[in-house]
């Protein structure tokens, strides 16, 4: 097995996940969520790496908060992220369990259905895009996800990563040849829906933009690939509004282009800034649904 370019700390094991499954079967979501409150405190007290990476965001989202209050904010993020992981497992067992509302989708859905060259679906570490992705059958497009294959077997089994109901999802490894760009381009040419994380570099160069009032570094790779394939980019945002209901927002759509005779990076900065503005607006409304466990404000880590 090849070594990872980006080292990832494994969290979760078969025994711990078994307890969550047991609580879910016995007491439903409420029982699993209750167990999660205890587990989240454990991570808050003993997982310094998780706390440290989360603190990068918290200090900028809540600049007036003191150290003790920051820990409370971090705990709420841990709890919300855990709930969304539980929800992801729930829909693998009960596909119709959650209800969904959508925001301003008519125009975007028409674009998605009519685009013969495929569409870049820009996902982010905010909300629960994996849940919303399972409701995209009406788009009538095969789905590819750009992501590192999950190397924790317990988590992989729990979340059924790479499965979409009874339809397999193609995984494009960004650590493969040319960062998976060739596979992305081929998928777009075949009219597929290519899901790319807009807030993870995965080898792409980054651009400096303001995020939460501080210079941050976000990759422009998704817009570069879309422009090269003449495909639109659609941002997918989700927010949980009740225990069994999500709202999905796909109203932000862009058509990136560039002139090959000019600096591509600078030309694509416009769309990266607009995307980051969308993320910032989301965190203003839903501060505890931002799971950006990476220091995007550091140029070295952002790259």
Query: Is residue 9 packed enough to be buried (19+ CB in 10 Å), middle (13-18) or exposed (0-12)?
Result: exposed
Tokens 């990832």, residue?
Answer: 8
**What is the reported pLDDT for 139?**
66
Any idea where the domains of the chain sit in the sequence?
98-302
Nearest Cα neighbor of 21 from 38, 36, 2 is 36
DSSP state of 262: S
CA distance 71 to 261: 49
- Considering only CA atoms, give the Rg of the chain: 19
For every residue of 21-32, DSSP letters joined together read HHHHHHHHHHHH
**What is the reported pLDDT for 157?**
54
**What is the reported pLDDT for 180?**
87
| pTM of the model as a whole | 0.86
CB 179 within 8 Å of CB 197? no
Strands 245-249 and 99-103, by their bridges, are parallel
Virtual torsion, Cα 49, 50, 51, 57, nearest 10 deg: 110
CB 188 within 8 Å of CB 229? yes
Tens digit of each residue's pLDDT, the chain (303 residues)? 344 444 445 555 566 777 788 888 889 999 999 999 999 999 999 999 999 999 999 999 999 999 999 999 999 999 999 999 899 888 888 888 888 887 767 777 777 777 778 999 999 999 998 887 766 666 677 888 888 766 445 445 544 555 555 556 788 888 877 778 999 999 999 999 999 999 987 667 899 999 999 999 999 999 999 999 999 999 999 999 998 999 989 889 999 998 877 788 889 999 999 999 999 999 999 999 999 888 899 875 544
CA distance 188 to 226: 8
């Amino acid at each position: 097995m090849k070594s990872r370019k980006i080292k990832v700390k494994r969290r979760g094991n078969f025994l711990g996940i078994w307890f969550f499954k047991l609580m879910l079967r016995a007491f439903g979501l409420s029982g699993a969520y209750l167990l999660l409150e205890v587990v989240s405190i454990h991570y808050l007290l003993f997982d310094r790496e998780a706390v440290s990476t989360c603190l990068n965001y918290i200090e900028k989202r809540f600049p007036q908060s003191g150290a003790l209050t920051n820990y409370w904010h971090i705990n709420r993020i841990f709890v919300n992220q855990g709930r969304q992981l539980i929800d992801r497992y729930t829909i693998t067992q009960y596909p119709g369990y959650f209800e969904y509302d959508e925001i301003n989708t008519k125009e975007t859905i028409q674009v998605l259905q009519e685009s013969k060259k495929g569409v870049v679906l820009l996902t982010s570490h905010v909300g629960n895009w994996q849940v919303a992705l399972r409701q995209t059958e009406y788009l009538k497009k095969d789905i590819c996800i750009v992501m590192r294959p999950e190397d924790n077997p317990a988590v992989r089994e729990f979340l059924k990563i790479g499965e979409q109901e009874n339809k397999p999802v193609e995984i494009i490894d960004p650590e493969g040849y040319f960062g998976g760009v060739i596979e992305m381009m081929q998928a777009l040419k075949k009219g597929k829906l290519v899901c790319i994380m807009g807030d993870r570099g995965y080898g792409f160069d980054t651009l400096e933009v303001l995020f939460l009032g501080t210079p941050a570094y976000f990759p422009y790779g998704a817009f570069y690939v879309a422009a090269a394939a003449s495909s639109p980019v659609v941002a997918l945002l989700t927010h949980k509004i009740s225990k069994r209901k999500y709202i999905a927002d796909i109203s932000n759509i862009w058509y990136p282009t560039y002139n090959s005779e000019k600096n591509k990076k600078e030309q694509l900065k416009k769309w990266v800034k607009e995307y980051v503005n969308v993320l910032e607006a989301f965190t203003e409304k839903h501060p505890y649904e931002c799971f950006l466990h990476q220091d995007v404000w550091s140029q070295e880590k952002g790259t």
